[in-house]
């Protein structure tokens, strides 16, 4: 049986794809960039991680992240409230970027992955599966909750000397959400998903 050949995404070197053990990465012999890897998790493990991230998404975005007591003025904030406040101050482009990359894209990414896994398992709607696979890279690049997390830490650093801060459960949930999405993105292997899709299309 012929080995499947793939192109290096960096230098376009033609490479024969070999089966790897879990957690092993393959590198290009010419430019030494990573070509593909074998994730630790199977599809069931990926589904479990994605579902766990989806479950923690809602408390992370709805529970108060921070309570600020500034000269007797008490105010609590959530991720969505922070974006809306930026919008009200006239920075609508920044607010849209925060909502898109910190709220909308992560939710769509998790729903897309769960939908892909369900379509692979049930062998239904191959056209929808292909459509989701083609748009996964865009969703993955738009999902940048670390930007909001960094800006939150910067805000805390600036406010800690002038106000009394109380940390809510939302900040813990948001940190856990960041960790979970990071592992989901790491374990998701586009080439493996396309391989499963091609096998179903041939059968």
pLDDT recorded at residue 55: 94
- Please say if the pLDDT value at position 164 is more than 90: no
Q: What is the pLDDT of residue 181?
A: 92
| Distant-in-sequence contacts of 7-14, Cβ < 8 A, 24+ apart | 8/33, 8/35, 9/33, 9/35
Q: Which of the 8 DSSP states describes residue 163?
A: S
Query: Residue 183: which of 49, 52, 56, 61 has the closest Cα?
Result: 49
Q: How does strand 25-27 pair with strand 34-37?
A: antiparallel
| Span 34-41, average pLDDT | 66
Return the number of other C-beta atoms located less than 10 Å from residue 114's C-beta.
16
The Cβ-side half-sphere exposure at 19, using a 13 Å CA radius, reads 1
What are the DSSP calls for 83-138, one per residue? HHHHHHTT-HHHHHHHHIIIIIHHHHHHHHHHHHHHHHHHT--HHHHHHHHHTHHH
Mean pLDDT for all residues in the chain: 81
**Residue 50, exposed/middle/buried by CB under 10 A (0-12, 13-18, 19+)?**
buried
Answer whether residue 2 shows pLDDT above 50.
no
- pTM of the predicted protein model: 0.76
**Bridge partners of 66?**
77, 167
């Amino acid at each position: 049986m012929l080995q499947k050949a793939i192109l290096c995404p960096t230098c376009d070197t033609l490479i024969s794809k070999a089966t790897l053990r879990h957690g092993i990465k393959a590198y290009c012999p010419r430019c030494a960039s990573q070509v593909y890897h074998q994730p630790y998790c199977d599809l069931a493990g990926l589904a479990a991680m994605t579902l766990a991230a989806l479950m923690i998404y809602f408390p992370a975005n709805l529970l108060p992240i921070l309570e600020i007591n500034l000269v007797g003025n008490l105010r609590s904030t959530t991720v969505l409230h922070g974006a809306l406040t930026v919008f009200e101050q006239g920075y609508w482009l920044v607010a849209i970027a925060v909502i898109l990359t910190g709220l909308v894209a992560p939710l769509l990414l998790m729903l897309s992955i769960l939908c892909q896994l369900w379509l692979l398992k049930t062998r239904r709607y191959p056209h929808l599966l292909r459509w989701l696979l083609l748009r996964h890279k865009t969703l993955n690049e738009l999902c940048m909750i670390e930007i909001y997390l960094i800006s939150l830490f910067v805000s805390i650093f600036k406010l800690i000397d002038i106000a009394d801060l109380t940390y809510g459960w939302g900040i813990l949930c948001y940190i856990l959400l960041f960790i979970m999405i990071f592992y989901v993105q790491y374990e998701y292997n586009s080439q493996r998903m396309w391989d499963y899709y091609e096998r179903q299309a041939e059968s």
